[in-house]
Structure 1
Amino acid sequence: MYSVSFRVNDKVHRKSYKTESGAMRAIRKWFQQHPESMHTLVMLYGPDQEPISYTQACDLPEVTSKVSDFYRSQAWLDLRYKALNQYGNSCACCGRGLENGATLHVDHIKPRSRYPELELKLDNLQVLCDQCNIGKSNKSEKQWR
């Protein structure tokens, strides 16, 4: 469990977060919403670590995106190519394809957010158009192929 205390002048607000990334998102958001605050101190408390203090947004570490790193990896690009070759060039759900102006996505049937161990398994992939994939989101595990 992580905790963040936001102090401006003499007012202190404290909030708990399940993850460090959740706490860091809250800190970034706070600095965005309070750019003019000059007497600010934000403290991040976490298990097995010394408290870390921040007084301005530029003190925060840079954000790296694990999602975009995955989708740029050679392993994903190779597997995506195999999925498109094996499962075709039209949406498994609605049938739209490139000839209908659809943008095709290679979808994880069981979402990466809940099944990270399946992210590079060909049998967990299907081809969906952008509309069907965005509509499906990570709420459904329906296999359309």
Structure 2
Amino acid sequence: MFEVTYKLSSCINRKKYKTENGALRAIWRWLIKNEHESYKLALLYAPHEDVRDYQTAEELPFEKVEDKVVDFYASNDWLKLRYLAFEKFGNQCSCCGNSPVNGAVLHVDHIKPRSQFPELAFDINNLQVLCGFCNLGKSNKFDTQWR
């Protein structure tokens, strides 16, 4: 669970999010909405990580494409690489063997976490196919290669 504390000069609010990506998107929207406020701060509390603070939307880990902010996982480069990873590594979880036939939702996982190794974000040799359960269990705490 990810928690965000939103601080303006006049108030403080807290919200919880299921995913880091959801929390970061919400922070981005909030910072854009409040860009003219004199004091604003968003604090992101992630499990087993130091608190991250953001005061401007530019500080968030999103790519700029044609003057629009794009989430990494919605970028064309990632979507193409994701497709290639499924072609190369198959359509089943490299850890437990589940597949869509068993009802599994498959993810393309960064073996070495993108948060710690951003230079490997687009390296197909740093990718593996995991089901949602195995990927969420792995999180960014382990760099086990299952393939």
Please give the residue correspondences for 1:86-97 in structure 2 after superposition, counting only pairs within 5 Å. 86-97=88-99
Moved over 4 A (4+): 60-65
State the Cα RMSD in Å.
3.0
Q: 1:127: which partner in 2?
A: 129
Unaligned runs of 5+ residues in structure 1 are: 1-23, 34-51
Q: What per-residue deviation string (whole Å, max 9, x for no partner) do you get for residues 5-26 of structure 1? A: xxxxxxxxxxxxxxxxxxx955
Q: What per-residue deviation string (whole Å, max 9, x for no partner) do you get for residues 57-108 of structure 1? A: xxx8668662861111111001000000000000000000000000000000
From 16, 39, 51, the equivalent of 1:54 is 39
Higher Cα Rg: structure 1 or 2?
1
CA distance in 2, matches of 1:129, 1:115: 22
Please give the residue correspondences for 1:63-102 in structure 2 after superposition, counting only pairs within 5 Å. 66=62, 69-102=71-104
Residues 1:140 and 1:62: Cα distance change in structure 2 (over 3 Å): closer
Q: What per-residue deviation string (whole Å, max 9, x for no partner) do you get for residues 39-66 of structure 1? A: xxxxxxxxxxxxx8338xxxx8668662
Q: Would you say how many aligned residue pairs link Structure 1 and Structure 2?
A: 100
- Whether the aligned pair in 1 keeps the contact of 2:85 and 2:129 (CA below 8 Å) is yes
Aligned-pair distance for 1:32?
1.6
Identity of aligned residues (%): 51
Unaligned runs of 5+ residues in structure 2 are: 15-36, 41-54, 64-69
